[in-house]
Structure 1
Amino acid sequence: MTKGRRNLSLGALAWLVAVALLVGHNGYLWVVKRIVPDTDIMALLPVQERDPILQRSFAHMVDAAQQRVIVLVGAAEWEDAKRAADAYSAVLAKRPDLFAAASAGEGVQAEWLSLFQKHRLVLMSPAQQAQLEKEGTAFWTQQALAKLYAPFGGPRLGAWQDDPFGLFSGWVQERAQETPVRPRDGHLFVADNESQYVLLPLTLKVPALSMTAQGVVLPMLEEAGAAARKAAPQARLIQAGVILHAANAGAQASGEMHTIGVGSIAGIILLMWFTFRTLKPIALILLSIGVGVLGALSVCWLLFGQIHLMTLVFGASLVGVAQDYGIYYLCNRLSADPALDSRALLKKLLPGLALTLLAAVIGYMGLALTPFPGLRQMAVFSALGLFFAWLTVICWFPLLIGPRSLKGGALVRAYGAALARWPLLRASPGTFIAAGVFGAVAVLGISKLGANDDIRLLQNPPKHLVDDQIKLGKLLDAPTPVQFFLVRGDSAETVLQREEALKRRLDKLIAAGKLSGYQAMSNWVPSARTQRERRALVDLKLLGVDGPLAAVARQAEEDAAWVRTTADALRAAGTPLDVDAFLQAPASEPWRHLWLGREHGQYASIVALRGLSMAAVPAVRPLADGLAGVQWVDKVAEISSVLGRYRVNMGFVVLGAYCVVFVLLLPRYRGRAWRVIAPTALASVATLAILGLAGQNLQLFHVLALMLLLGVGVDYGIFMQEGATNCANRRDTTPWLAVGLAAANTILSFGLLGLSHTPALQAFGLTMLLGTLLVWLTVPCFGTSTTIKEKANAETIGIR
């Protein structure tokens, strides 16, 4: 065995040991440690921008909504709706391990009222408190007498003496207005102009985002819906819940990836077969990519202690770059002299392979300079993956693919012959005219390019789910979990007082019709200051010696002892109510998500808004101005803003990466370095112009694709210029074949994502499709005149 061969064997053996360790570590992570990728999008934010209390408030609201499934079973007739709802519930009752249904019995209402009975003196609506401050003895005397004698004096909760002036009853009615849902015949009832609905609020006992849980829960919901329609054929079902959207998104992604994946793999296999007449090359390329992914995952886990899901998704993009190294070696092995052994071939190709790796790694590592932890992790993952794939090609390919092991076919010769007819960039009038036209069209197209960073582009739910969500939101007047006010303070009392100050501002918008209401902890537990004020006000205005209560006693012919007994009973029902006592009661369960409690040395709560429209947001947002500890939270706008900053930062990173890569190319290519990078730069500009002319809005995923395009396109430029650097290669079309195969595989791998129905994936795929195709078509134009002439005059155009 020669010394070179022996060195190759030792290197291959050493790399085999390293890969075995990687496989073992990955097996430990997934099988033993059972790692789960992080899916928290807040984990991608810059550390200095991550507010832990704000993050907790959003998680609190999301967690409250995530495990809920809301079902409305409706019909024109109430009896039909009840019958269908009972059939629906009967099916779900078979699986108590999956669903917990809320009770709507009389006991729930009684428990709810009993919670507040001993605090009823301090529970009144703000309007009643204002009335109490303004009105005199005569008004309140008439109020009490009307409730005592009038047959329709309004709803009464308990005996007349418990609430003679109707203050507690008024507060209870105001609380009931927080939802249009009412108990009826042992069910929860809500209606519109067309139907009467039974509300079935369900709580999942399994994780809503678990694919396993979705596979069990959704069939049960479908079975329950079928049972409801069988019981009442005219029944209408409205269903909403995170699990429905998550299951649809998963099914859509699975279907798309199956279709696109199978199509791309089949296309790549056929392409490699027609090129090399064997499946061995594609198996080796997939092997190099697989090793790259395993190595990146292992090292990133050791560095970061976790892996974000977006890192895995973005890291998959290294497939489109990592394949280039193997393809370049295979194409050169195909065209090389059979007498040239693997060590000599590798030595000749190593400078070009090293530059392609460095160019791609620099492009990815530019992300590591940004202040975003998510982008830094993505950059490290991708750079490591490329490095491990590159080492696999260097260590194993020369031993596994030897001379005469590959054979080119007619497709290779025909494709190679096309290069001689490709236009060549020269300093001529035609070139300058073409450059002027290109510049004008590019400026026009890019000037029409808008920007859209809306987080909702990450999903594309079907129309029926959106319609059901809108309908349910209107019927239930439910607050949105992604837009609310966050209230903070150094004590629970401070938080409640600040809530009350905020609510006074919100009341003005409700009066103007821009909101239908709000949900807040202070609705149920007024601040201690407010409770003291109300108790003192009741004592002063209603229970005094010559006050309304005494006047009522005279009208009812009761003596002073009755007045004292009634007044004492009312005062006894003025026990202060605090948040802890309220939260410990079972009746507080629907409102617990509004109270965050003590978080990082502060207390915090949430004020949720009902009936908030997008048009009303500009009027709502400024209400927090000037209120200490009150902050408007709009998670859709916030995350969209984060994506926008990612997009802008990534744009600068791409420009910086071009500069660094150009400097890197100068020592080897000198005056021809611009020819390596120019095709990719022009293709990127042209892609942006085409998107602008097509009316597309720029988003983060367009820019991420341009980042990947830099790593891919520079590889093609290096391949072509290496053909001019190595004299032995000037008379063949090996670089052109490597570019064609790499570009075709990239288009099949990523370009087909342009067919996706998910806007973000579609944007990424469309950018890669246009950019890769344009680089492919443009890169031969930047070859040197000598190289092209020699190729055109060569006796054999194709690859030997």
Structure 2
Amino acid sequence: MKPSRPRWQDPAVWSWLVLMALGLWLCVRATYVADMSAFLPAQPRAEQQLLVSQLQAGATSRVLLVGLRGGDAPGRAEASRRLAQALRASGAFESVNNGDNAGQEALGRVLFEHRYLLSPAIDAQRFTVEGLREALLDTASLLGTPAGAALGPLVWRDPTGEVVRIAETMIPASAPRMEHGVWMSRTEPRALLLATSRADGSDLDGQARAQDTVRRAFEALRLPALQLELSGPGTFAVQSRAAVQAEVERLALLDTVALLGLLLVAFGRLLPLGLALLPVASGVVAGIVAVHAVAGQVHGITLGFGITLIGEAVDYGIYYLVQARQHGRAGWLRTQWPTVRLGLLTSVAGFAALAVAGFSGLAQLGVFAVSGLVAAALTTRFLLPVLAPQGTAGRGLRPHFGRALGQLSARAPAWRTPLALAVLAGAALLLALPSPWRGTLAGLSPIPQEALALDASLRADLGASESGLLVAVQGPDEGSVLQAAERAGERLDALVAQGRLLGYQSPATLLPSPATQLARRGALPEESVLRQRLETAAAGGPFPPARLSGFIADVQAQRSREPLRPQDLAGTPLATALAAQLVPGRDGSPWQALIQLQLADEAPAGANGAAAPVLTAAELRQALQPLPGVQVLHVKTEIDAIYADYLQEALKLSLLGALAVVALLAAQLRDGRRLLRVLAPLAGSTVAVLAAFTLAGVALGVLHLVGLLLVVAIGSNYALFFDHLQVHGQADPETLASLLIANLTTVASFAILATADIPALAAVGQTVAPGAALSLLLAAAFCRGGPANAHGRIAATAEPLQPQRETRTP
């Protein structure tokens, strides 16, 4: 007889150790994200492309809203100035705005040097004798107003008041309130700042550093009377990542404790606990590595979903460790492994369809599930038989579990009719009631309501529009898109005049198109012509022509000045505002101009005295027709449409996965009656869970659907084992014990997940925990409950057989 080598020298052990070491190394180096852009479409529709690009990397994704609450108004103003100064000096921000004059000098110089190219009042009429006379009189009337105080030093070089005209166009309809020289809330004891980080919105580490910079700068002020408030897309992303990480750690700890407790009760020894968790560890590591290899990053929700893998992956280890006590390694591989393998294939078939989804987040879930389950099953197949050839030692309460499920199996067929009627009633309910599939993208976010309320409050203080309406204009290049925005602005001006629109913010207002600037430059007269007209227009007025030589010189200087471009505004507060509204084209995509609207709360009364309704998206589209390249977007509607597309694709892919499961089972079982009794518990548990959610009024989303796929994956194992026992007609209490232990660990794992504070993870737990429990019951009922003895009755109380001895041949 050739002596057997120690188990630790077996190639399966060394191969597993090497692969796990490599996998753990890759897991540590993987990139983990938590922003919701992973759940946006990879190939969005034209209407959605703009929103997707802005959510992923737009200028608005880099904006931080900062509030300084408490104290008195002078103290808040001083703190605002000191904080703004510190943030500007940090180098972490492209711009920091709080309403003070910092940065205004450079901007004022640029605007002044280009005022005749930028002022909307400039045209050929402006420099006629009548046009000049009217402009001079208007400027003279301003000198006695607050605006005149700022105009005074410039009046001899800008007697027509073009700087005032430019300033008027740049003031939004709803601007923050100024107090003590800085922005202040209208309703709260709060000073306001707006900071744009240099880090991209998708760079969560960079966003976190920028936020830490704000916190450290605030702490350095040493003002205990004030509180710092932070919000914005970057803070949401960083908070999401932290929340997911903390929740995953908490759930993993609770899940591990619960599983260890159940397995210790079942086996009565510690060694089986570690062995049962080896397939779980393999599955989680393989899932992370596979997702990172395919997507280049791992979403936090995907990582949290990895916890759910414990619920099914641990079943594989339990099946082997318990069943091998009766069948031995060779017997288990010959009689039981084919059933486990078929259950694995059905799970893979169900989840594989998600792996090709057009949404990165959904595809990640599919890839994680497929790779994780395959790795867990292969670990069970090749590693556990080496480490535990005869299964687990110790019995614990395992015989009692076997007897308990045996007794349930004996009684369950009698409940088949009422259970079938209940499932049919649930199906009828689903057909009669409105569809429960109405979840939203916001339902995936772990951001608490308090943070969302703070964000809304800060945005309202800053005058941000809440209408949700956005006009997007496309063009092949910078000049053409600005021209298109100007044409759209002419239509919007008519709505403003009618009172249907309070105002709008357009990039063409901040920076007219090169064509418009050139047209205004062409309206500037030659020196001799201007001097002659000015002599006539200013005669007898408050501006003696002899003192306007600077004005004449500036006009002549700007007759040769090149149009102002976005890069000329770099380093000024206007650069950030323009970047948020003018989106350059990349990789062949068109340029985009975004026009933000401020809607009137109520339109003016009509002839009958009744107020007209607020401007709608349909009316806005009508007003902008037939301008080419112009889209009217209702942001919430488009986001809901994105999620609706997401959900519809998930439902279609899940249906394809279900069809693949049916086809696979049909090909393997080759018996119509067996196929029906295996499918019955899967369909019944799915319908029952859906009906319960519908009655409870729960809005179902993508993660509920993923939970139903897990119910099918887990339930298929139960149904196939019961079918196997029924066909072979052998009393096998160890198999029954393994099924009940596996079910209890699964239900416990997902019940813990149902307590998650993250809605996406809680949705999976709330779906799978009751679904898995119901799957076992229905499998016992519809698959005829368990093994039949020679007299056709269920052997419910048989004692476990002694494990078979495995012999080695020379």
Judge which range, 772-781 or 590-599, deviates more: 590-599
User: 1:122, 1:452 → 2: CA distance?
Assistant: 51
Q: 1:253 aligns with which of 240, 244, 250?
A: 244
Partner deviation per Cα, 1:204-259 (whole Å, 9 max, x = no partner): 577886469849955973893796653xx4x5654323454345434543444344
Q: In structure 2, how many angstroms separate the alpha carbons of the residues matched to 1:162 and 1:625?
A: 42
d(CA) in 2 for partners of 1:211, 1:490: 34
Match of 2:332, SS state, is: helix
Query: Offset at 1:469?
Result: 1.5
- The residue that corresponds to 1:263 in the other structure is 254
- The aligned counterpart of 2:16 is 19
Letter of the structure 2 residue corresponding to residue 691 of structure 1: F
Q: SS in structure 1 opposite 2:628?
A: coil
Aligned identity (percent) is: 22
Alignment of 1:349-748 (within 5 A): 349-368=336-355, 370=357, 375-376=362-363, 378-403=365-390, 405-410=392-397, 412-413=399-400, 416-422=403-409, 432=417, 435-445=420-430, 447-478=433-464, 484-511=470-497, 516-535=502-521, 550-555=536-541, 566-567=551-552, 569-574=554-559, 575-580=561-566, 582-584=568-570, 586-593=572-579, 594-601=581-588, 604-609=591-596, 611=598, 618-619=617-618, 622=621, 626-632=626-632, 637-666=637-666, 667-668=668-669, 670=671, 671-727=673-729, 730-748=730-748
Query: 1: CA distance between counterparts of 2:48 and 2:188?
Result: 43
Counterpart contact for 1:274–1:409, Cα < 8 Å: yes
Aligned residues of 2:500 and 2:615 also touching (Cα < 8 A): yes
CA deviation after TM superposition for structure 1 residue 663, in Å:
3.3
Contact persistence 1:724–1:784 (CA under 8 A):
yes
Partner Cα separation in structure 2 for residue 239 and residue 377 of structure 1: 31
* Paired letter, 1:114: R
Give the aligned residue type for 1:279: L
Distance 1:260 1:585, change over 3 A: closer
Q: Indicate the residue corresponding to 1:164 in structure 2.
A: 159
Aligned counterparts, 1:88-487, within 5 A: 96=90, 102=96, 106=101, 108-125=103-120, 128=121, 141-145=133-137, 147-148=139-140, 151-152=143-144, 154-155=147-148, 156=151, 158-177=153-172, 180-181=175-176, 188-192=182-186, 195=189, 197-202=190-195, 210=204, 214=208, 221=215, 224=218, 230=224, 233=225, 238-298=229-289, 312-314=303-305, 317-334=308-325, 336=326, 341-368=328-355, 370=357, 375-376=362-363, 378-403=365-390, 405-410=392-397, 412-413=399-400, 416-422=403-409, 432=417, 435-445=420-430, 447-478=433-464, 484-487=470-473
Deviations 1:487-524, CA, capped at 9 Å, x for gaps: 33233221111011122233345456665543333212
Deviations 1:438-460 (A, max 9, x none): 42343225524433242111224
Cα deviation for residue 686 of structure 1 reads: 0.7
Deviations 1:18-39 (A, max 9, x none): 32442353355356xx342466
Shift of 1:148: 3.4
Deviates most, 135-144 or 260-269: 135-144
Distance in 1, Cα, partners of 2:301 & 2:170: 43
Q: Distance in 2 between matches of 1:216 and 1:548?
A: 53
Give the distance between the partners of 2:357 and 2:142, measured in 1 at CA: 73
Contact 1:89–1:224 (CA<8 Å) still a contact in 2? no
CA contact (8 A) 1:485 1:631 kept: yes
Distance 1:578 1:152, change over 3 A: same
TM-score (normalised: structure 2): 0.82
**1:764 and 2:760 correspond:** no
Asked if the contact 2:406/2:797 (under 8 Å) is kept, the reply is no
Q: CA RMSD in A?
A: 4.4
The change in CA–CA distance for 1:14 and 1:77 in structure 2 (over 3 A counts) is closer
Residue 59 of structure 2, aligned match among 57, 64, 69: 64
Equivalent position SS for 1:408 = coil
Query: Could you tell me whether the CA contact under 8 Å between 1:300 and 1:307 is conserved in 2?
Result: yes
Distance 1:404 1:122 in 2: 85
**Cα separation, 1, equivalents of 2:89 and 2:330:** 66
Q: Give deviations 1:175-213, integer Å, cap 9, x for gaps.
A: 13477357776x523341564x54344455778864698
Please, which runs of 5 or more residues in structure 2 have no aligned partner? Answer: 602-613, 802-810
**Residues 738 and 219 (structure 1 numbering): CA distance in 2 closer, same or farther, change over 3 Å?**
farther
Q: Which residue of 1 aligns with 2:606?
A: none
209-218 or 714-723: bigger deviation: 209-218
**Counterparts in 2 of 1:364 and 1:165: CA distance versus 1, 3 Å:** same
What is the alpha-carbon distance in structure 1 between the residues aligned to residue 788 and residue 167 of structure 2?
Answer: 88
Q: Does the CA-based 8 Å contact 1:245-1:461 persist in structure 2?
A: yes
Contact 1:719 1:738 in 2 (8 A): no
Q: Is the 8 A contact 1:519 1:608 kept in 2?
A: yes
User: Could you say which residue in structure 1 is the equivalent of 2:807?
Assistant: none
**Contact 1:550–1:563, Cα closer than 8 Å, also in 2:** no
Contact 1:115 1:585 in 2 (8 A): no
Task: Indicate if the aligned counterparts of 1:360 and 1:710 stay in contact, CA closer than 8 A.
Answer: yes
**Whole-Å Cα distance in 1 between the matches of residues 173 and 108 of structure 2?**
16
Q: Does the C-alpha gap of structure 1 residues 424 and 660 become closer, same or farther in structure 2, counting only changes over 3 Å?
A: farther
Say which SS state the counterpart of residue 756 (structure 1) adopts.
coil
Aligned partner letter, 2:268: R
**Counterpart residue identity of residue 199, structure 1:** L
- How many Å apart are 1:265 and its aligned residue? 1.7
Match of 2:605 in 1: none
TM-fit CA distance, 1:174:
2.5
- 1:488–1:294 Cα change, 3 Å: same
Q: Structure 1 residues 227, 327: closer, same or farther in 2, change over 3 A?
A: same
**Amino acid paired to 1:609:** Q
2:26 equivalent in structure 1: 29
SS at match of 1:755: coil
8 Å CA contact 1:328–1:735 kept in 2: the answer is: yes
User: Using the alignment, how far apart are the partners of 2:356 and 2:83 within structure 1?
Assistant: 55
Determine helix, strand or coil for the equivalent of 2:156.
helix
8 Å CA contact 1:180, 1:476 repeated in 2: yes
Distance (whole Å) between structure 2 residues aligned to residue 303 and residue 213 of structure 1: 25
Cα distance change on mapping 1:495 and 1:555 into 2, 3 Å: same
- Normalised by the length of structure 1, the TM-score is 0.83
Task: Kindly indicate whether the alpha-carbon contact (under 8 Å) linking 1:38 and 1:308 is maintained by their aligned counterparts in 2.
Answer: yes
Query: Which secondary structure does the structure 1 equivalent of 2:105 belong to?
Result: helix
| Cα 1:258/1:378, change in 2 over 3 Å | closer
| Paired letter, 1:473 | R
Deviations 1:398-451 (A, max 9, x none): 23224484233346416623532557576x9x8556534542343225524433
Q: What count of residue pairs does the alignment treat as equivalent?
A: 776
Contact 1:42–1:50, Cα closer than 8 Å, also in 2 = no
Say if 1:644 and 1:699, in contact at 8 Å, map to a contact too.
no
1:105-138 deviations in Å (ceiling 9; x for gaps) = 656322221102232223334xx469x9699966
**Other structure's SS at 1:720 match:** helix
**Which SS does the other structure have where 2:231 is aligned?**
strand
Q: Which amino acid aligns with 1:456?
A: A
CA contact under 8 A between 1:680 and 1:775: conserved in structure 2?
yes
Q: Counterpart amino acid of 1:470?
A: A
Contact kept in structure 1, 2:786 and 2:794, CA below 8 Å: no
Tell me, in whole angstroms, the C-alpha distance in 2 between the residues paired with 1:686 and 1:769.
Answer: 13
Between the aligned partners of 2:48 and 2:778, the Cα distance in structure 1 is: 52
Structure 1 residues 88 and 371: CA distance shift in structure 2, 3 A: closer
